Structure 1
């Protein structure tokens, strides 16, 4: 018995399908945004691998800290670091004088 020939890519995607997917991505995001999209995906994959490796090794605290530090360094180096929003606090109420409260003289 011979086994069926398996495609090179997972899911049976061939060259023509990949070209169609690439064309759709170019139409959706534009050619200038694709490198940034790929870079972000690569960084996310690196972080994911570091997290799973930390879980496998049983070193959750050090693995998480290393992955977070690596993400901060790569974001800072790439210039894509996003500002973290400030924590929300209670609004400050400032009372302003009303027109009828102000004495005209």
Structure 2
């Protein structure tokens, strides 16, 4: 796909992570809300939605005004991972530990084989 590929891919010995950045608003260093897919050597693929703490705070404040989520009284997502800092690097650090500990299977949602 070349230039139009929306994914930023990080390849490590224990996983490959693909981050679906919005080309209009996200950079690798600033991304604060992103869908990611993690492929493990066993062939499994896991989906995560990664937010920064500040992004969650921003969304709650917006919902308080809009009335969503009981006026911003809660925030949840099935496959949610919250990280302290924005950027692909911080997110990759978190994914690396989830894979190492085996917790990726609890946090992520398993994707069906795309083939």
Q: Which range, TM-score by smaller chain?
A: under 0.3
Higher relative contact order (CA 8 A, sep 6+): 2
In terms of fraction of residues, the more strand-rich structure is 2
- After TM superposition, the score normalised by the length of structure 1 is 0.26
**Larger gyration radius, structure 1 or structure 2:** 1
In terms of fraction of residues, the more helix-rich structure is 1
